[in-house]
Structure 1
Amino acid sequence: MTNVKSIALCLLSAALAAQAQTPQRLPTVPLRAGMYQIQAQVAQSPEQRAIGLMNRKSMPSHEGMLFVFESREIQCFWMKNTLLPLSIAFVADDGRVVSMADMQPMDETSHCSKEPVRYALEMNQGWFAQKGIKPGARLAGAPFDAPK
């Protein structure tokens, strides 16, 4: 019986690894950063957040990924298995950009918010800088407009 359990666990592990190697596609939400439109995939479950933008080779310039957490905490991100250089904005409940960081592909350095937040938005590296979006700017869209 132990061999059957071991084989089942190996098969489950292999299936999860294969799934993680395929970029996930999640439901999207429209956001705005000033006059700029963003189509953000929403990662809200622990599994979706863990996979994030891993294994993607490209991403359109107007797309990103919004990470939604259950509670406001210091949030930290790394780039394990992430092939794209990304910029991240840590965002307060009201859409205010709290802090930002540029992250390098395949790097396991932690990039953390400067204060507790529930949201983080990843975009192609340099997107925020090119659009003049800095800490203190506000993002708009359904996640930030709803009462918490």
Structure 2
Amino acid sequence: MIARVFLVLVLGFASFAGPAAALESFGKSQLTVETAGGGKFRFTVEVAQTPAQQAQGLMFREKMAPEAGMLFTYDQPQFATFWMKNTLIPLDMLFIGADGRIVNIHERATPHSLDGIRSAGPILGVLEINGGLSARLGIRPGDRVVHPLFGTAK
């Protein structure tokens, strides 16, 4: 009984203390996007695997390094919908199929928007990078993402 009361108090304090009190931590990984034009762009990504990590994503971040991103992973191919609630920076969302090919890209998602951003087909992962970066680098649907999740790592 004492442990239960303590847990309720701790959880109550965490929710009262604001978003920083309960932020998830993420493991990191490397991935490369290979474009049809011959470009190879390497990113250091935080990996969102658990439901809690995926729910938080890049919320509350004020900035992100140009070569950084977040990779959301799924156990099996599925349609996915994202939103930008509590996300402070514009993002490009690259929806990636099980074969490692980019299915579709949503560029410059609007911070704080509650509009759903949907994959155009079943995907195994979503890569979020700084808004406008995919256009600047020439990344397009059909380009290849090299990462162990997709069985494309060299």
TM-score by length of 1: 0.86
CA distance in 1 between counterparts of 2:147 and 2:97 reads 13
Partner of 1:127: 133
Q: Which letter does structure 1 place at the counterpart of 2:61?
A: R
SS of alignment partner, residue 121 of structure 1: strand
SS of alignment partner, residue 108 of structure 1: coil
- 1:60 aligned onto 2:59: no
Partner of 1:88: 93
Total equivalences in the alignment: 145
Summarize the Cα distance change of 1:108–1:95 in structure 2 as closer, same or farther, 3 Å threshold.
same
CA distance in 2 between counterparts of 1:115 and 1:77 reads 14
Q: Does the Cα contact within 8 Å between 2:85 and 2:113 map onto a contact in 1?
A: yes
Q: Does the Cα contact within 8 Å between 2:60 and 2:87 map onto a contact in 1?
A: yes
Q: Does the Cα contact within 8 Å between 1:20 and 1:54 map onto a contact in 2?
A: no
Q: Give 5+ residue unaligned stretches, structure 1.
A: none
Written as runs of structure 1 = structure 2, the 5 A alignment for 1:68-107 is: 68-102=73-107, 103-107=109-113
Partner of 2:114: 108
CA distance in 2 between counterparts of 1:16 and 1:116 reads 34
Identity, in percent, stands at 34
Q: Does the Cα contact within 8 Å between 1:20 and 1:51 map onto a contact in 2?
A: no
Q: Does the Cα contact within 8 Å between 2:70 and 2:128 map onto a contact in 1?
A: yes
Q: Which letter does structure 1 place at the counterpart of 2:14?
A: A
Structure 1 position 7, deviation (Å): 8.8
TM-score by length of 2: 0.83
